[in-house]
Amino acid sequence: MTQAMNQRVLLASRPEGLPRLENFRIVDEPVPVPLEGQLLLEVLYLSLDPYMRGRMDDAKSYAKPVEIGAVMEGGTVARVVASRLDGYAVGDIVLSHSGWQRYALSDGADLRKLDPAAAPPSTALGVLGMPGFTAWAGLLQIGRPAPGETVVVAAASGAVGSAVGQIARIKGARAVGIAGGPDKCAFVRDELGFDAVIDHRAPDFAQQLSSACPAGIDVYFENVGGKVFDAVFPLLNDFARVPVCGLISQYNALPQAEPGPDRLALVMRDVLKKSLTIRGFIQREFANLRPAFLQEAQGWIADGSLRYREDIVEGLERAPAAFIDLLQGRNFGKLVVKLGE
C-alpha cells in the first residue's frame, strides 16, 4: 500500500526585490502521524496575503521570519482527518495556521472551529477572517469616521480595501476607492457601491482624486504607499486619521531602488500643522474585539450590505506563482488557494 504524501512549499532562499519561483521549493514528504493530544489536519484552503513577503526576509519585524528550508507560513481552513485530542472529531472544519502544505499536525492551540452552514469556509480567510478584521478594526478603532466624512482607501478591490469602503458607507461616511484598471474600478463602483473610484494608472490620477474629494480627506486607510500616498497626503484635512496596515508598493523595493529628496521634514511639518494622526497597527492588537467584529460582519453579509469577491487558484503547486502575482496587483479579490473539497 502506497503511503500518503504531504506536499509542502518551503522557502528555498531569501528574495532580493520581487520574489521569484526559485525562492520556493516544493517537496513531498510522508504525512505525519498525530501523537496523543494532537490532530492531523488536511488543508482545504490556503490564504495568500501581502504580509508573507515580509516573512521571507531575515529582518527585524513584528514577527519572526520564515527560516530557510521551513514551510511558508499562512492561514488555512482545514478538515480534521485524525484526532487524538479531546473536543475535536474527524470531519470538523477549523481555521488554523498550518502554512503552505497539504497536511499538518496541531495541538489545538491555534484553532477555531468553523460552521460551514453559517458561511462558506473560505470566508474565514477573507471577509470574516484576518483581512476583514483588519479593515474593521483599523477603520473603526483608529480611523473613526463620522457620518458625512470622506474615507479614501487604496487597493479598494482587494480583501482589506473592499471591506474598508463598505464599512465606511455602513457607518454613514463617503467612500472613495482607488484601484488599478477598468474592471476593478467597475467592481468597486457598481458591485461594492463606493461613492467614487479612481484608477491609479490614469495619467491624471492625482487630479482625479482631488476632484473626487472636494471637501478633502478625513480618513485615509493606508495599505499601499508610494505614489498613492503622494496624491492623498496634500488632501488630508485638519485632524485627519491615517490607519496604516500595509505598504505593498514598497515590499519588494531594494534600499537603493527609490532615490530622491528626503521629504520627511515636509511630511512632519504637515503632521504638526494639520494635527494629523498616523498610526500603524497589526490586527492582533485588537484581538479582544474579534467577537464583536464577527457579529457585525456576519449580519452585514446576511443583509447584503457587505459583499466580497474571492480569487481562487486551484492546486498548492500554483501558490508561489499566485503569490508573486499578488505582489504585483494581478489578483482580483481575496486570493485563496484551493487544495481540497
What residue numbers bound the domain in which 147 lies? 130-288+293-300
Structural domain count of the chain = 2
Same domain, yes or no, for 104 and 135?
no
Same domain, yes or no, for 154 and 189?
yes
pLDDT given for residue 248 in this prediction: 64
pLDDT given for residue 252 in this prediction: 54
pLDDT given for residue 254 in this prediction: 53
Over 50: is that where the pLDDT of 191 sits? yes
Buried residues in 245-271 as b, exposed as e (16+ CB within 10 A): bbbbbebbeeeeeeeeeeeeeeeeeeb
Share of the chain above pLDDT 90, in %: 82
Which region among 210-224, 234-248, 292-306 has the lowest average model confidence (pLDDT)? Answer: 234-248
- Rounded to two decimals, what is the model's pTM? 0.89
**In this structure, are residues 159 and 127 in contact, taking their beta carbons and an 8 Å threshold?**
yes
Kind and range of the H or E run holding 81: strand 76-83
Which residue type does 78 have?
A: A
CATH number, position 328: 3.90.180.10
How far is C-alpha 25 from the geometric centre of its chain's CA atoms?
A: 24
How far is C-alpha 70 from the geometric centre of its chain's CA atoms?
A: 22
Over 60: is that where the pLDDT of 271 sits? yes
Same domain, yes or no, for 102 and 141?
no
Q: CA-CA distances (angstroms) from residue 314 to 91, 100, 327?
A: 22, 13, 18
Which residue type does 253 have?
A: A
Same domain, yes or no, for 157 and 228?
yes
pLDDT given for residue 1 in this prediction: 41
* Separation of alpha carbons 110 and 132, rounded Å: 19
Same domain, yes or no, for 135 and 227?
yes
